[in-house]
Structure 1
Amino acid sequence: MINKISIVLILFILGGIGYTLYGFFAVDKNPDIVTLERFNGEEPIMLDQYIGKKKTILQFVAVPCECCSFSMPFIQQFAKEQDDIEVITIIFYGKRSEIQDKFENEYKATHLYGLDLDRSIANHYGATVSPTYVFLDEEGNNLGAYPYIILDAEELLQRYDDAFNKFHNKGE
């Protein structure tokens, strides 16, 4: 006689097999990791216009996220003051209406930002927590990621420089 635990275990195993098969057959094998959607009919941000051409920081955020909200003022200031590093905020989680309200009304965002609600770009760069900062050099090399809160513009620049120097062996 099969007991309840056995039935649950069998269902769990079958669910895992089903999930794996769904991921294998249904997941887009060529996700769009270049196009960042915008609001209000604005032209999308084409990441390949920046990555591989200019030092770039991709800031992955969620709405709502208090740590992400904390960072917005200095991110915008950093983006405005930096000529050599492009900062692009990528929102990979949240409700469209809440995201739009936060970025347009609360943050009054002036730097580059866009939506990745299907998480194709976030998955490509391994961003699973919010905030995560991904650092890229002007050749498009991924210098690494920093999946923690950053306190100010000086720390952001220091984290970028540390990743750059480590990748290019200048920190030894």
Structure 2
Amino acid sequence: MNLSTDPLTGIYNRLYFSKKFEEEIERAKRMKRPLSFVIFDLDDFKKINDTYGHVAGDIVLKGFAKAVSSSVRSLDTFARIGGEEFGLILPETDVKTAVQVVNRIKEKFKNVYIPEIGKRVKITFSAGVAGYREGDNMDDLFHRADVALYRAKENGKDRVEVEEE
């Protein structure tokens, strides 16, 4: 058993993600290079589980993980950090570019339907983006991205929001 991966999606788990996040923050600090963090949350995921069942929910989670994994670079770190929450660490990436990455993922994912459940279900996600600032630790960056994610949810879901200055 691999202790660094999520057994359902096959991507990194929160434990590995946290360790890698700390390393990337230290590297950004030392090298004075940009670093961005994105937190994703699948919109109305509970409704998918309640309507189609947990097997369908698992299929959606796997599909999302696959869509994002195939859209990011090998130096990026993508992980499942909660039930339907995912995190993405983007080294050498400023916030503007991080938003472009998320929008590319959105384009790729918006037309993905899950035929295994016998219905065409459109899945959307909301995302919050934050960039490393001098003196930040993991909690600071995570908090700012999380606040942006909640703003995306409040502003209608299926959108990307950026940390406030």
Give the TM-score range, shorter chain. 0.3 to 0.5
TM-score, length-scaled by structure 2: 0.33
- Structure (1 or 2) with the larger CA radius of gyration: 1
Structure with a larger share of its residues in helix:
2
